[in-house]
A and B are shown apart, each in its own frame.
Chain A
């Protein structure tokens, strides 16, 4: 194995992890832009996606596709219930109290998952085989292609939704100024609810497509949620290209750091990046003059 193929492997591994971070980051961005809060239960949607799919697949013996569809639906319902019961009743609360509520909700969801499904780790079978594919001396699994494909699809759909549909434009209007939006007849409450729906769906989708690789258990949401958070911070809370680049950058740095420095510092690298960004460029790396939020 020569050095170039080793480098290619680090880059590929990094990018595939990065795509996952970006997807999770999206969920943060969408809710933040609609409500101004950071939803720390985002990682729990990721966990729910994976765990619910395994639940439907293994315990109810459903085929893979309906199991995935049901899992996303149910995770989205959890997102709706969460918004209705925990966020909406406190209309005039400060963002800080709402953020603390989301932390509470994440602990609750994790605990509930532990009670329902136990503490074991579960593996989802890969969507299409386990045989590695060779690209430029590096290898990836078919599952990685699924991750790339679905991520790109979600990114495009997202862009199209926010730029070309009335509802998407209305959500962006809420993000700019919710009071003004309500004056022109946009139902802000519905938009907030919708932001929870979208991010729960994207989060659970992310949890499902990575479960065959990383496996899943009741507590996977913590670390993945934090990594997604770092991605969205690098991307400056945008739900567009910024977060995608943020996620990919994070994945790459982690993988190269683990390869060339030491794997023991993998998580440390991620959190050092988070701190640096927060200190030096809290508005995100890619934010120029006026970037669109939402």
Chain B
């Protein structure tokens, strides 16, 4: 049986846990440490924490807050937001973060990825690509929390990042974020088929069936925010995570052993 990683992706803004719709309209959810504790109790596969105000405010990662989160995470923890130097990367790894997630700095300086990958190893480098179609219907990678069009093609950028030492691509479809409309499978297929490293799909998940479709489209793992922090239809805050039984029945797949 092949397990598929199912990853809660948490957004932090001004120290609070928030959830967005299409990268806008952030709603306050609660305290991030509490949320991580609850997800830890639910034995989630992995957790992603993104500080979406760090880059906007031009400030480095809040090491103290991340350290507190890391001490509650008995599963792999990925952190992104405001990382611009090798020293910050080393520091994050030292306090118990397994994976550093780069977005804006990867767009600004692709060689930075080479530098940090050589130091901490490919397995700890995740490139987060926020993707949206431009006016002409072409997929483009956006930086600065989805506000700045880099004009880069996601396939080309993903390939470059793999070549520069990324271990994983976190692919976020901006227009699906928080919509519960399902993943952008066309985008997942296009990017995953052009790289050899795992792709984690995020943006739009509303069910285990959506996860399965993302995996069929080529994702190695799936992530979601709203699905795990809201109870629909009214978006009441309620942290949840699928049971092992449901995951086994509806998502994991058999792999033939010869």
- Chains A and B are bound partners: no
Residues of chain B whose beta carbon lies under 8 Å from any beta carbon of chain A: none
